[in-house]
Amino acid sequence: MQHRQLAPFAPDFLWGASTSAYQVEGAFDADGKGPSVQDARTTFPEGTTDYKVAADHYHRYAQDVELFAELGLTAYRFSVAWTRIVPDGDGEVNREGLAFYHRLIDALLERGIEPVLTMYHFDLPQALQQKGGWGSRATVEAFTRYARILFEEFGSKVRYWLTINEQNMMILHGAAIGTAGDVAAGDTKGLQRALYQQNHHMMLAQAETMRLCHELVPGGKIGPAPNISVVYPASPRPEDILAAEDFNAIRNWLYLDMACRGGYNPTAWTWLTEKGIAPEIAEGDLEILGSGRPDFLALNYYATATVAAPLAGEDVGAVEGADQQLAVGEDGVFRSVRNEHLPVNAFGWEIDPVGFRTTLRVVYDRYRLPLLVTENGLGAFDTLEADGSVHDAYRIEYLAAHIGQMRAAVSDGVEMLGYCPWSAIDLISTHQGVRKRYGFVYVDRDEFDLKELKRYRKDSFFWYQQLIKSGGTEVTAA
């Protein structure tokens, strides 16, 4: 649809940016923090750092919040490290950890920045992992208790809450992002069966948490934050269209249907049962799943996927070492194919701004809940010049194209709450360490040389600053 005139973003639209605790905070064992599964990792992609220092946001949050205010952010999406609050996941509460997040939230509010709090972002307490992790129902109880602590502690200050970041990616690509745990060593069916049991437990925890938010936080709004993108058929061939519908169900609707409708998507459930990897559902689970409902939907968007029908004896398109943005194919369901109509970035991710608009439209039409974009961005090997400048025109071009398509989606009738691209400042990338940078602010460190961790404003910082001032009307990259 081509509009004669694009609709404006709402006056209270949240212009934000995002980070996650383990990728930005550092201070991995400071002030009583316990180890998470990310801290316990012993292997990383060759030549990349661990998360022990990251961007040292824990010690430099005040400076960073001042930069966020200068940037003009009206929202900051961050995650709380579970192990700062409850070091072993289900034991004593760490008051020093709570105090840090109080300081961060207060600093944001003093500068007119809305805190958007993510409860869980890939960093399960290692002590719980050793007890079975998300494969144990006890973790559901531990997470619900942790959520209650957050609601009671921060509920008077935080209005927007996110439950679990990219739950679908933890299930589809758990080994790639370091969240699969010990089950990654099993056979393929055993691995998938274990992961979908974990998934069921996460869904129970999410439903309980959404219900609890509405009980404990007057005026609080809560939603899930999966990675959602539309799946294209490789051709108009009916078999390819069916394959795309199947992968949409497995990748997207399984998670959003559960959050919004309280039940398993029928296509996804049929696949789970036919493959023999369906989770065990205990008595009362369905009632729990139906008890929590979101107020909005958050979604992370980077790239679309294109698939075709599987062919007997043909490779399904698996990619060795594929990350969470690359479809890897599924026997009897779909095979992954390259979309020749889309350019790719340096990491093989297809760049599809129009697909962003399509995704927003499809999700809003399906669930009719306001949408909040919690990740969208371009990772690149940025260069710090001698004069302290960072020229990242490629990032500006990417963001401008996606924000332009988001405004088109608003003009299409999609209700948008806000836009929080990845990331507010440079942090540790899941796959490429420090070198792959996403932020509006450059953090001067290398993989193994911390230097002074000094902050520098990139060209994209000043561009986004002006865009926010214009209310999103000055979108062009030039």
Give, in degrees to the nearest 5, the angle at Cα 413 between 408 and 418. Answer: 70
Catalytic residue of the set 208, 330, 350, 375: 375
Q: Are 21 and 81 in contact (CB under 8 A)?
A: yes
Q: What is the CA radius of gyration of the chain?
A: 21
Helix (H) or strand (E) holding 224: strand 221-225
Q: How far apart (Å, rounded) are the C-alpha atoms in residues 408 and 6?
A: 6
User: Given CA atoms 421, 426, 430, 434 in this order, what sign does their dihedral have?
Assistant: positive
Can 375 be counted among the known catalytic residues? yes
Give, in degrees to the nearest 5, the angle at Cα 277 between 276 and 282. Answer: 110
Q: How far apart (Å, rounded) are the C-alpha atoms in residues 46 and 433?
A: 9
Helix (H) or strand (E) holding 431: none
Catalytic residue of the set 153, 166, 208, 330: 166
Can 447 be counted among the known catalytic residues? no
Q: How far apart (Å, rounded) are the C-alpha atoms in residues 266 and 232?
A: 20
For residue 434, give the nearest of 29, 82, 52 by alpha carbon.
52
Q: Are 207 and 291 in contact (CB under 8 A)?
A: yes
Residues 6+ apart with CB under 8 A from 158: 105, 115, 117, 217, 220
Name the residues annotated as catalytic.
166, 375
